Amino acid sequence: MIFDTHAHYDDARFDEDRETLLLSMREHGIGHIINVGAEMKGCRNTVSLVKKYPFLYGAVGVHPDGAPDFDETCIEELRQMAKQERIIAIGEIGLDYAYMDELDPDEAERTKEIQKNCFSRQLALARELRYPVFIHSRDAAADTMDMMREHTKAAKAEGSFRGGIIHCYAYSPEMAEEYVKMGYVLGIGGVVTFKNAKKLPEVVERIPLEALVLETDSPYLAPVPHRGERNDSSLLPLVVKKIAQLKGITEEEVIRVTEATAKRLVEAGTVSVN
């Protein structure tokens, strides 16, 4: 069945129909979902959702938007949440430089350093706990790659490397190949169906299917023809269809191989998928 490796069902946009929607997923061919925290409240809610729904797994982490408020108290709470049952990764963590051109140069540089510090401390937590990482990177290709190289080298040296997902991959095919060589997989979602997606279809064509996983980023990034609407995991068959077309294979093969890769990531987070 389809495995959605990145969703945010803790988001307020699901408040009115969350339970009905989640309980309908099996009818749509969705077997498992990883709910990903992006800020502390979302992480707490993720832990609660995972306890309630046995087909959910969770990741906990602070998105770069939350970096200014990130402190040692956050680290300790994340450490304790990460040890809860079926929490299997540290994420969504990373760098986001999308709006830096709106800041004056000094403020932009300070903001980047704050994000890097937040990211670095959470990468260190992942090494400590021996967990995979789910990486957010937007308009920050070089800095993200530099920090991921350092993390990977350190984790492999100490035997704590567990891989992870480069979420909503949006950079070049060449960089994608480098991430795969390092031991990461790429999250592919609704963006691959967008008409203005130029690099991502090439990435999907070039990267082995075994290094790709399916994701929604629900409630964001719904695939065509639902672009702009609230996204949820039931729309992933549209992503599966596009990947199958790009690679010249069956939709069944896309589902089978990406599910197996996602389950290996869960197992890397010290949890067995039933």
Q: Which amino acid is at 108?
A: A
Contact in structure between 66 and 110 (CB atoms under 8 Å): no
Residue 274 inside a domain? The answer is no
Number of domains present in the structure of the chain: 1
- The per-residue b/e assignment along 171-192, b for 16 or more CB within 10 angstroms, e otherwise, is bebebbeebbebebbbbbbbbb
Residue 10 inside a domain? The answer is yes
Q: From first to last of its 274 residues, what are the pLDDT tens digits of the chain?
A: 999 999 999 999 999 999 999 999 999 999 999 999 999 999 999 999 999 999 999 999 999 999 999 999 999 999 999 999 999 999 999 999 999 999 999 999 999 999 999 999 999 999 999 999 999 999 999 999 999 999 999 999 999 999 999 999 999 999 999 999 999 999 999 999 999 998 999 999 999 999 999 999 999 999 999 999 999 999 999 999 999 999 999 999 999 999 999 999 999 986 534 4
Residue 273 inside a domain? The answer is no
Q: How many CB atoms lie within 10 A of CB 272?
A: 7
Q: What CATH number corresponds to the domain at position 47?
A: 3.20.20.140
Closest CA to 177 of 138, 212, 133: 212
**According to the model, what pLDDT value does residue 269 have?**
84
Taking the C-alpha atoms of residue 12 and residue 15, their distance in angstroms, rounded to an integer, is 5
Which residue range is the domain that position 206 belongs to? 2-268
Residue 95 inside a domain? The answer is yes
Taking the C-alpha atoms of residue 130 and residue 161, their distance in angstroms, rounded to an integer, is 7
Q: Specify which residues 89 forms β-bridges with.
A: 59
**According to the model, what pLDDT value does residue 272 have?**
39
**According to the model, what pLDDT value does residue 270 have?**
63
Q: 52 exposed, middle or buried (CB, 10 Å; 0-12, 13-18, 19+)?
A: exposed
Contact in structure between 212 and 243 (CB atoms under 8 Å): yes
Tokens of 25: 């997923």
